[in-house]
Amino acid sequence: MASSSFWNKKKVFITGHTGFKGSWLTLFLTSLGAEVVGYSSHPPSIPNLFEQGNVAKECTSIKGDITDYDSLFHALKQHNPDILFHLAAQPIVTTSYKNPIETFKTNVLGTVHVLEAAKHIESIRGIINVTSDKCYENDGSGNRAFVETDRLGGFDPYSASKACAELVATSYQKSFFRTNTLHLASVRAGNVIGGGDWAEDRLFPDIIRAYLQDGTLNIRSKNAIRPWQHVLDPLHGYILLAEKLWIDAECAAAWNFGPINEPNRTVHNVIQSIMKLWNKPLTILSPHTNTPYESPILTLDSTKAVNKLGWTPKLSTDHSIAWTVDWYKKYAFGENMESFTRQQIDAFKNL
């Protein structure tokens, strides 16, 4: 488990702290005693976990955009963090088709800005650059799970932008950080689920909206296979990696964090599991055939993280789905989501 003794009073800077993963990460780190400064433009949706979890009270929150280098550099220089987590991104595949320029600008140039600014901040010892499992060149065959040394690529603009962000990170690590006390690692997680995700065109939020509205669910690719995992599992991996990165330059590399020893689960299978837990059916519709392309199968090999970090998922896919459904049920019943979100973090830490 992540070390409270390590994180206590550590100054942590998070880009994208108002997003789904960023909000969970902020709450996780502050529960370990870290002092978090967040830098983000705005919460990505209404509603959003940042507000539902009252995340702002746990951190210093700065409104800014990673495409604005001067603003970002000033924020980093003002706060002199020990560790930086870079999560800010345009994270949706379908949005990348609609707005590829903004996607590449945010995900690629934004990453350049973050790393260039960090290069000039002497206090920073470690950077965790968060990309995606979609950064790999995927032919859709599903012959094997991706390992960290596999070729990068991307059919859609989002996936390509994340592959580019990986190349940027590798360049900075080799060009500027290799002989420095600052070490950079990139992390690639699967399809994370968890309470408080309200993004458009994501499976769980779309299902919950269907339940809260007319009971009709539009699904793009019901047979697609993804590495489903609760958001706290990869975040725990990122945190463990940051601890190791502090003392071991060999950890300055790419890392996968995905489910282990779990059967392949299709979108359709996950929907059936959610309906069973919610105890209510949905009317499921498929969209028109001109749906933008997404790879039909994507799985990760996380052997490296298991062997070198001692990381393993604490929640199975079934438990991940159950925890997520439980969060949204509590929301639907009008319960205090700030309190319940923290309860789930505490429960996770005790597993």
Residues in contact with 112: Cβ distance below 8 Å, sequence separation at least 6, in sequence order = 168
Average pLDDT value for the chain: 95
> From CA 73, how far away is CA 94, in angstroms rounded?
31
> From CA 142, how far away is CA 151, in angstroms rounded?
15
Q: What is the pLDDT of residues 242-267, one digit of tens each?
A: 999 999 999 999 999 999 999 889 99
Which domain CATH number covers 272?
3.40.50.720
> From CA 16, how far away is CA 40, in angstroms rounded?
5
Give the lowest-confidence range in 62-66, 106-110, 218-222, 229-233: 218-222
Q: Report residue 19's pLDDT band, with 50, 70 and 90 as the boundaries.
A: very high
Q: What is the pLDDT of residues 120-129, one digit of tens each?
A: 999 999 999 9
> Which residue segment(s) compose the domain that 84 sits in?
4-349
What does the DSSP 8-state code read for residue 171?
Answer: H
Give the lowest-confidence range in 115-119, 177-181, 212-216, 300-304: 177-181
Number of domains in the chain: 1
Active site residues: 158
Pairing verdict, β 283-285 and 216-218: parallel
Q: What is the pLDDT of residues 315-339, one digit of tens each?
A: 999 999 999 999 999 999 999 999 9
Model-wide pTM > 0.85: yes
What would the two tokens of residue 295 be? Answer: 């790879």
Span 59-76, average pLDDT = 98
